[in-house]
Amino acid sequence: MKRVFRDSRIQAPSYRRSLLAWYFHFAKDWPWRRGRIFPAISQAAHERTAYRSWVAETIFQQTRLTQGLPYFKRFLKLFPTVHHLARATEEAVLKAWEGLGYYARARHMREAASRIASGGGFPRDMAGWLALPGVGPYSASMLASVLDGASAPALDGNVRRVLARWFAVPAAYDASTRHAWQTMSANLIPPSAAWRLPAMAPIAQSAKHSITNSLSKWIISNPCGAWNEAVMELGQTFCAPRKPLCSACPVLHLCKARRSDPEKFPRPKSKKDVPHKMVVAGAVRRQDRWLVGCRAKGNMLAGLWEFPGGKMEPGETPEAALQRELFEELGVPARVGRRLGTIKHAYSHFTITLSLYEAVLPENSQPRNIKHEKIMWATRAQLDELPMPASDRRLIRMGCLDDRMIVG
């Protein structure tokens, strides 16, 4: 790693020059980048830009651009300012987030919005961002550099892949090498917002650049923020995990990995087996309503509405598992009927096979809420409105609730 440190220090000016020149010409004109001015001319201008940048940063943390873009647009329509978000119900925010996964992001955003709206506005430095719920070191660095010009390198998996290839880093990223990666990225970022790229002035005067005038001005005035975004954008465009487009890459002449096989970098961590769980759920129906429960606080997917059910124990049949789960969750013995549908679903640390069965409660029995935040009998239209886990939503979209069911 010593060689890597030395190379990243020595080559930093060349990387800055090449990458920022490329970014100046070809930065993507995403909606959250429009209207930026650095430094912000007023508190209101800072708040407008900060809100859009923060929403984008949160949505795109674990989500591909193509998948997240419609969510970003819809989110801004529903909650145009941080004050709208602060006043929204948790259910409304979760509904806007439905299908994006990692729902803690949405809950944290709403909580942070009410702090920002009732406090002194958006943070102006790393420490302020880090103090907000749901904001980790990567997002804090990105936001502090983009909004306020902090020389704070943003380092996530995408950026690590790019750096691993630039310097042919021999080590995988883990607890023992974390500090080394941070040092390497700190060597590269422009030292402050006052740092000026020598070759930028002639480029700025050329008519070649295709990006908006305001974004090009922002890039020139905020090289630290532009650097973090440029590295990230290189990783999203040319330096993809598979089949990187090296021949078109703006730092091809500097990159060490392209002399061998870029896909060998970064070195993969040893893979752990991903656990798989068999899960059963009950479509419990009375007249035109289905019983659903809101997952309790502190649990994964908290605040989302689901069909009651749970994991199968070893040796259990699906029917026995569902009967047990329904009794544990609702306090009434249920009759389990036909299987209505099965899907496979992947979460970040495990996968599930989820089967939905029809289930009938004894006549006149009153289910109790034992494990959920609350339960309700929801009409089909209400099910469409409630925020639900993607797995349950998929079962509904497959037509599992169509009128083939036993009515209890």
Site for ligand SF4, rule CB under 6 A: 162, 165-166, 238-239, 244-246, 249, 251-252, 255, 257-258, 262
CB of 8 to ligand SF4, least distance (A): 14
Q: Which is nearer to ligand SF4, 148 or 233 (CB)?
A: 233
Cα R_g (the chain), whole angstroms: 25
Residue 94's beta-bridge partner residues?
A: none
What is the CA angle 342-346-350, rounded to 5?
110
Q: CB of 55 within 8 A of CB of 32?
A: yes
CB of 240 to ligand SF4, least distance (A): 8
CB of 19 to ligand SF4, least distance (A): 9
Q: CB of 357 within 8 A of CB of 337?
A: yes
Q: CB of 267 within 8 A of CB of 181?
A: no
Helix locations, 40-89, DSSP H = 43-59, 65-78, 82-87
Please, which residues have CB within 8 angstroms of residue 354's CB and are 6 or more apart in sequence? 279, 280, 281, 342, 343, 344, 345, 391, 392, 395
Q: Which is nearer to ligand SF4, 21 or 143 (CB)?
A: 21
Q: Which is nearer to ligand SF4, 144 or 231 (CB)?
A: 231
CB of 244 to ligand SF4, least distance (A): 4
- Kind of pairing, strands 289-294 and 276-286? antiparallel
Q: CB of 158 within 8 A of CB of 65?
A: no
Q: CB of 283 within 8 A of CB of 401?
A: yes
Using CA atoms, how far residue 161 sits from 178, 235, 238, 259, 389, in Å, is 14, 7, 12, 16, 31
CB of 158 to ligand SF4, least distance (A): 11
Nearest residue to 149 (alpha-carbon basis) of 38, 22, 301? 38
CB of 265 to ligand SF4, least distance (A): 8
Using CA atoms, how far residue 277 sits from 111, 143, 211, 230, 357, in Å, is 32, 38, 48, 40, 17
CB of 151 to ligand SF4, least distance (A): 22
Q: Which is nearer to ligand SF4, 85 or 257 (CB)?
A: 257
CB of 166 to ligand SF4, least distance (A): 6
Q: Which is nearer to ligand SF4, 95 or 165 (CB)?
A: 165
Q: Which is nearer to ligand SF4, 14 or 351 (CB)?
A: 14
Q: Which is nearer to ligand SF4, 249 or 326 (CB)?
A: 249
Q: Which is nearer to ligand SF4, 22 or 377 (CB)?
A: 22
Using CA atoms, how far residue 159 sits from 140, 227, 239, 299, in Å, is 15, 11, 10, 31
